[in-house]
Amino acid sequence: MSDVANPSSSSTSLHATTTLGIVGGGTVGGGIVSILTSNAPLFTTMTGKDLLITRLAVRDTSKSRDFITPEGCKVTDDFNDVINDPSVDTIVEVMGGTTLAKDCVFRALKNGKNVVTANKALIAAYLPEIESLVKSVNEDRNEGTKPVEFRYEAAVCGGIPIISSMQGDYVGDEVEMISGIINGCTNYMLTSMDRDGLSYDESLQGASDLGYAEADPTLDVGGFDARSKLKILMRLAFGVDVPEDEISCKGITDLTKEDFEYASMLGGTIKLLGVAKKLSSTEVAAFVSPAYVANDDVLASISGATNAVEVLSSNLQATTYSGQGAGRYPTANSCVNDIIKVCRGDVNPLPFNSKQEGVEFVNDFKSKFYIRLRYRDQNGITADCGRLCEEHEIGIYSILQNPIKNRNDAAFVITTDSVNLSKVKKFVAEVEGKSWCRGEAFFMPLLRDEAM
Ligand SMILES: NC(=O)c1ccc[n+]([C@@H]2O[C@H](COP(=O)([O-])OP(=O)(O)OC[C@H]3O[C@@H](n4cnc5c(N)ncnc54)[C@H](OP(=O)(O)O)[C@@H]3O)[C@@H](O)[C@H]2O)c1
């Protein structure tokens, strides 16, 4: 690594300094160093302070880097060197994971350091613990001492400033519903499947080649990455802490080209959505699932790796935030915004907004549904479906059937009237036991049409 000028390493500077320790020098960490280094004079003007990156932790110090380590910055493979350095006042955690990263963030906070992180998995797994640690650390600080800050703009939708919007722009408003395309990898894949007619495997390969997939793509295609982000947004929007695994989560692995043909027949497309809605003053419901989205819906036009979150609220009504949900510079940009706020002395005592007592999570929701059933042709299929729908109190809105090419393996689709997910699950379990039914049925909500 070569040493070059630290963002503000001028020996003649008369400004106060803020000292940063960065843990992680990969995609995001490298972007943060580059942005801070190239804009140092501007940031000094904005904050009145010189920003010094004095420590950097990486896993392998011998690896060559695609960014320049600032002059005077000590590089280590032990993040304890960074969080235990008394001269470092702000830790930027961009190494990822939930074990070592937890140690790093928790110990940094206990050491009285501000923390900026991009780590959605860590926050989703330990949100209440982080919240109470920040609170107790600040309660223990001497009167008149600036409280420690915990900032995480980059953790949800990378470059889109959705966290600061949820923290600051709805204070006199009431959020009713959030619907978002909050995983860029799967949106890229679904766009290639729909627009370019690629298969699931081809589109996953394309997303991996372009660096959109996580190291373990199950987190993307299984919907788990989206669920972590939805959980964080739910806390900010509704004040409710929901254990991640209680949120109904279906990924895109079971989608086929046929589903896009049927969605097109209905006048729309399919998106992996995270949706959360306030059902009443005491109940919130949520899901992560592929969903049918009509072509005239703003979310249908969000293509490729772009993310978008639509927030419906009483005063603002519908507001959509869209942009780059990942990537070096979009994500690093959000981290840098947090760093500047910390340096400037901005204080946010409630990084997750207030918790709303008495609001409960309900793991069921109401929507119109799309149910795709594979079958081998025989008499009585429609009668069976009609009878089972009636037994499960499911109103059939339409039945779609492409011309049959193979009588032993064909598919048709039922769209339903608005009904609870729990009823659809029971119907599907019974229908799958029929002799004509091949494999597992696939079902997903139709967004808007009374979703929830
Ligand atoms: N990439 C994105 O677009 C994006 C978007 C939003 C949020 N995020 C979040 O940002 C975080 C970082 O992501 P990334 O894409 O930058 O990851 P990355 O490219 O894999 O970089 C991780 C960095 O952490 C270092 N590291 C790993 N374990 C370490 C340890 N035990 N001690 C010290 N350093 C360690 C690695 O060192 P070596 O280089 O030596 O291996 C590497 O420099 C994650 O939480 C991720 O979820 C990323």
Cα 211 to middle of ligand 1, angstroms? 14
* Over residues 386-409, mean pLDDT: 92
Mean pLDDT of the chain: 93
**Bridge partners (DSSP) listed for residue 115:** 91, 150
Tens digit of each residue's pLDDT (9 = 90 or more) over 12-52: 566 788 999 999 999 999 999 999 999 999 999 999 999 99
Nearest C-alpha neighbor of 405 from the set 275, 261, 251: 261
Distance CA 406, CA 117 (A): 53
Q: Which of 66, 69, 79, 95 to mutate to test the pocket of ligand 1 (most atoms within 8 A of CB)?
A: 95
Cα 99 to middle of ligand 1, angstroms? 13
162-325 belongs to which homologous superfamily? Answer: Dihydrodipicolinate Reductase; domain 2 (3.30.360.10)
Residue 3 has pLDDT above 50, yes or no: no
Distance CA 421, CA 402 (A): 26
Burial of 90 by CB count in 10 Å (0-12 exposed, 13-18 middle, 19+ buried)? buried
Give the closest residue (by CA) to ligand 1 atom 8: 118
CATH number of 3-155: 3.40.50.720
Cα 29 to middle of ligand 1, angstroms? 7
Domain ranges of the chain: 3-155, 162-325, 366-446
Active site amino acids: 229
* Over residues 445-451, mean pLDDT: 74
Could you say which DSSP state residue 61 is in? T
Tell me if 118 CB under 6 Å of ligand 1. Answer: yes
Cα 39 to middle of ligand 1, angstroms? 23
Burial of 234 by CB count in 10 Å (0-12 exposed, 13-18 middle, 19+ buried)? buried
| Shortest-distance atom of ligand 1 to CA 327 | 3
* Over residues 257-280, mean pLDDT: 95
Could you confirm whether domain 366-446 is CATH 1.10.274.10?
no
Tell me if 119 CB under 6 Å of ligand 1. Answer: yes
Cα 422 to middle of ligand 1, angstroms? 39
Tell me if 334 CB under 6 Å of ligand 1. Answer: no
pLDDT tier for residue 451 given thresholds of 50, 70 and 90 = low
Tens digit of each residue's pLDDT (9 = 90 or more) over 106-133: 999 999 999 999 999 999 999 999 999 9
CB–CB of 430/424 below 8 Å?
Answer: no
pLDDT of res. 5: 53
Could you say which DSSP state residue 141 is in? S
Tell me if 63 CB under 6 Å of ligand 1. Answer: yes
Tell me if 157 CB under 6 Å of ligand 1. Answer: no
Distance CA 276, CA 309 (A): 11
Give the angle subtended at the CA of 181 by the CAs of 179 and 187, to the nearest 5°: 155
Task: Looking at 345-399, list the stretches that DSSP marks H as alpha helix, in order from N- to C-terminal side.
Answer: 381-391
Task: Looking at 249-403, list the stretches that DSSP marks H as alpha helix, in order from N- to C-terminal side.
Answer: 257-265, 328-344, 381-391
Which pair of structure tokens corresponds to residue 249? 């989560």
pLDDT of res. 448: 73
N residues, the chain: 452
Coil/strand/helix, residue 360: strand
Tens digit of each residue's pLDDT (9 = 90 or more) over 371-381: 999 999 888 99
Give the closest residue (by CA) to ligand 1 atom 15: 27
> What type of residue sits at position 80?
N
Nearest C-alpha neighbor of 37 from the set 81, 69, 76, 72: 69
| Shortest-distance atom of ligand 1 to CA 58 | 34
Buried-exposed string 133-162: b where 16+ CB fall within 10 A, e elsewhere = bbeebbeeeeeeeebbbbbbbbbbbbbbbb
Distance CA 363, CA 19 (A): 45
| Shortest-distance atom of ligand 1 to CA 100 | 31
